[in-house]
Structure 1
Amino acid sequence: MYLAIELWQESGLSQVKFCSREKLSVKTFSYWLRKYRKEKAFQVKGDKKVSDTFIPVEISRGGTPTETNANSGRIDVSFSDGVQLSCPVGIDISQLKTLINF
């Protein structure tokens, strides 16, 4: 099923359209996609797991003063797959973990 997920990512289609084209159950595809993303999130390099090593984090204060002021008090996370997460600095840590692991 991981091959189907990788083909879907390359296709540019929505999950529903891809599943319809490939005659796959959307529910089953979604289950495997969550499993795939969770597995990929814990892989860093080779067989090392996140719990065994550090993950590189980039902290920047770039942008114009207006952009910096507009974003102050926020945590912005950009994932390698293009997904971006923005939340207030005071977010409850358990909520943040839930969002990141989604």
Structure 2
Amino acid sequence: MTHQEKMLQLVELYEESGLSQRAFCQEQGLKLSQFTYWIHKVRKEKQATSGFVQLSPPEPAAQLEVIYPNGVKVRLPARDLQLVSRLLHLY
């Protein structure tokens, strides 16, 4: 068994163990920094070979609503603060 195969097997054992990285390394006689490197390497390889990329759902776009005294309502993205400022100063 090559060193790489051994480390891959240990990473799988760790993920199934429910132990912290530190506790697992102490139990197996491993250096924490080296094992952390292998965990990241294995996870990166799994992600690259899966053909899928994990996406996060977009955050809902925050909107502001400016209501003028005459009843006119203007809705706009909250991220454009210059536009909000200009609209407030129009009245």
Q: TM-score, normalised by structure 1?
A: 0.46
Aligned residue in 1 for 2:60: 72
Aligned residue in 2 for 1:36: 42
- Percent identical pairs in the alignment equals 36
Q: 1:21 to 1:57 in 2, by over 3 A?
A: closer
Distance 2:12 2:33 in 1: 17
Aligned residue type for 2:9: L
Tell me by how many angstroms 1:12 deviates.
0.2
| Higher alpha-carbon Rg | 2
Segments of 5+ residues of structure 2 without an aligned counterpart are: 1-6, 62-78, 80-91
Q: 1:38 to 1:58 in 2, by over 3 A?
A: closer
Higher helix content, 1 or 2? 2
Instruction: Tell me how many residue pairs correspond in the alignment.
Output: 55
Distance 1:59 1:32 in 2: 25
Is residue 5 of structure 1 aligned with residue 4 of structure 2?
no
Q: What whole-Å deviation, never above 9, does each CA across 1:41-96 have from its counterpart, x for those lacking one? A: 1012xxxxx4xxxx377898xxxxxxxxxx624xxxxxxxxxxxxxxxx9xxxxxx
Residue in structure 2 matching 1:25, options 31, 39, 55: 31
Tell me by how many angstroms 1:20 deviates.
0.4
RMSD: 2.7
Q: TM-score, normalised by structure 2?
A: 0.51
